[in-house]
A and B are shown apart, each in its own frame.
Chain A
Amino acid sequence: MPAIIEADHLKKAYRGDVPALAEATFRIEKGEFVTLIGRSGSGKSTLLNILGCLDSPSSGALTLDGEPVNFRDPSLLVSLRRRKIGFVFQQFNLLPYLTAQENIEYPMLFNYREPEVRARAAQELLTCVGLSNRGHHHPSELSGGEQQRVAIARALINNPPIIFADEPTGNLDQKTSEEIFSLMQSIAREKKTTFFIVTHERDFGEYADRSFQLIDGKVTGA
């Protein structure tokens, strides 16, 4: 079975200093639920941004769902983000002037689908994250946990095989965090979606199929 993510000696250095990311080589299979744990400043976000085609490595190679990533081809990066990748952020980052349902539909504006298709997909996902009756609410009317559920639904709208989440529970309390993790886990099981989740709380390791560690810029535990 081909790997969904294949990182080969990825490295990232800013201005010739000590590299933010020194060495990342691993394979992740389709549908795996992976967490990445490390101290603050250990390079977790740096690695996640490279895997998510938002940032480019100083050296090394990346393959996503069988497609080699050419970091010098901006239109390929856009296309990969549209087809292969969903993002969940620590700050939720919903657009305040859109309703929950419109926020979920938002990525489909770029990866164009007709309004009816968008609405149907968004409503399905609202149900899936347990917010079927909150679609017309604006983010300011939702709790942090609810906002993050909306953000997870938004990440799933284009049916990407991979979801990257950078400390998705960093702004949530323990109980809500656990709910979010079990939601993501059930989605991973149900939809065969690969999750790659950065967290610095070791406790959530129990949800993971595999747990990587970043120590001094090096990925271990792979």
Chain B
Amino acid sequence: MTKLVDYAKLSARQLMKKRMRVFLTAFGIAIGIAAVVGIISFGEGIRYQAIETIKQQSDLTLIEVTGSVRDGTVIPITESKVSLIQKIPHVEAAGPVYQVSFSTLRQTYISVTGISGEDLQKIFKPSFASGGMYDPASNQVIFGHELAEKLQKYEGVRQGDLFTVVIRDYDPNGAPSDRKLAIQSSGALRERGDSLDSLLLMDRDSVSALSNESTPYNAVYVRVDNPEHVFAVVDEIQSLGLSANGSFRQIESVNRLMDLVILFLSIFAAISLIVGALMIVNTMIMSVYERTREIGVSMALGASQGDVVTLILMECLYIGVIGGLLGDLLGIVFSWAINSVGKAYLITQMGDMFSGFARYDLTLVTPEILVMGFLVAVVLSLLSGIYPALQAARLNPVDAIRHT
């Protein structure tokens, strides 16, 4: 180890003698690193903006859990699964629901969700355009905003009206049979912009009473305390064998898309890294050639092949470290340039449309990106040094010493 420190000092002395060449070589790799850092920070910036926009525009902390099919067997939502979900950390409330459908006498189809009044309050925090909550175990219902408009327009149903819906059952032979049910709206919700807008909500026990046999729940609505914990909760739910859906899926698809875009752009940036690496190979081959005699003399004075390899790789390590630091620095400058020039350009081009984005930076340089850039430079430099180092180690000392 102390031996390595001395080798490092020796290599530093070597490199100081050819500062310009070392700097140019390191600069070559630095440009590649800067391109990668700039492009990734740009991609990360766009990812960040897209996710922030989703967070603002959608109800991220709501998860809809449904049963799933695994290896051909159905995993139903049982009472015990519901209580397991309720115990997941950061779950504020988990309300199991029944989902059925009614149709009106004029064949308008209505999706019905049976949810307990308490769960409805806790999970959806409903605000009413008119009327209020249904009574438990009654025939009262709440209209979503869109549904209320639709029923009023096509069926003439108003708040407080008693009206008849048809429930279609199927007998064991698959033949349909219809039942009629009189229901009454206790209230209509304000527009929410989510799936509740088109639903008819009813007390869970009332929906459950509509069917004779007891059935598993169709879904569980889960409210998470904080957007940051959504993915952890989703993982827990999935480990129970259930499926989870919600706005977080949008984030997942943004992430998938951005991963792909960043990867694709990085491949282009990587081309400049390859050029940088070839420069190192070239520099080191020249350096080994120029020092052929010195290497032979070192071998005569007791250097092993391993010592020679170490000394050459040590120089590459320096080039990598210089190139990595320089590359990170250039990358930050590059990313700052995209940000200031790019943002100004977008604002003039898109005007108000862009105002939402203007709050964020176009690029996002994270410590991870910088560390990665640095490591790529170092590893690439060491890899580039392997061939020249082995060439140096394979020199025949007698021929090398005679070399002029």
* A-contacting 9-mer, from B112-120, B302-310, B345-353, B354-362: B302-310
How many A-B residue pairs lie within 8 Å, measured between CB atoms?
59
| Interface pair B301/A114, CB less than 8 Å apart | no
With the chains together, A106 CA to B6 CA distance in Å? 10
| Interface pair A82/B302, CB less than 8 Å apart | yes
CB of B345 to closest CB in A, whole Å: 50
| Interface pair A109/B10, CB less than 8 Å apart | yes
Residues 1-33 of B, flagged 1 when their CB comes within 8 A of A and 0 if not, give 011001100100110110000000000000000
Q: Which residue on chain B has the smallest CB distance to residue A95?
A: B294
With the chains together, A2 CA to B293 CA distance in Å? 35
Known: A98-B13, A109-B3. A54 touches B300 (CB 8 A): yes
CB of A153 to closest CB in B, whole Å: 12
| Interface pair B304/A110, CB less than 8 Å apart | yes
CB of A65 to closest CB in B, whole Å: 16
| Interface pair A93/B398, CB less than 8 Å apart | no
Which residues of B are found within 8 Å of A68, using beta-carbon distances? none
| In the assembled complex, B297 has its CB within 8 A of some CB on chain A | yes
Main secondary structure of the interface of B (DSSP, over half): helix
Find the residue from B297, B298, B300 having the highest chain A CB count within 10 A: B300
| Interface pair A49/B13, CB less than 8 Å apart | no
| In the assembled complex, A154 has its CB within 8 A of some CB on chain B | yes
| Interface pair B304/A111, CB less than 8 Å apart | no
30 residue pairs of the A-B complex, CB under 8 angstroms, read A49-B398, A54-B398, A54-B401, A55-B398, A75-B304, A78-B302, A78-B303, A81-B299, A81-B300, A81-B301, A81-B302, A87-B297, A87-B301, A89-B401, A93-B293, A93-B294, A93-B297, A93-B401, A97-B14, A97-B16, A98-B13, A106-B298, A109-B6, A109-B10, A110-B303, A110-B307, A111-B302, A112-B3, A114-B2, A115-B6
Interface positions of A (Cβ within 8 A of B): 49, 52, 54-55, 74-75, 78, 81-82, 87, 89, 93, 95-98, 106-107, 109-112, 114-115, 154, 158
Q: Besides A54-B398, A111-B302, 9 other CB < 8 A contacts?
A: A54-B401, A55-B398, A74-B304, A78-B302, A87-B297, A93-B294, A95-B297, A97-B16, A109-B7
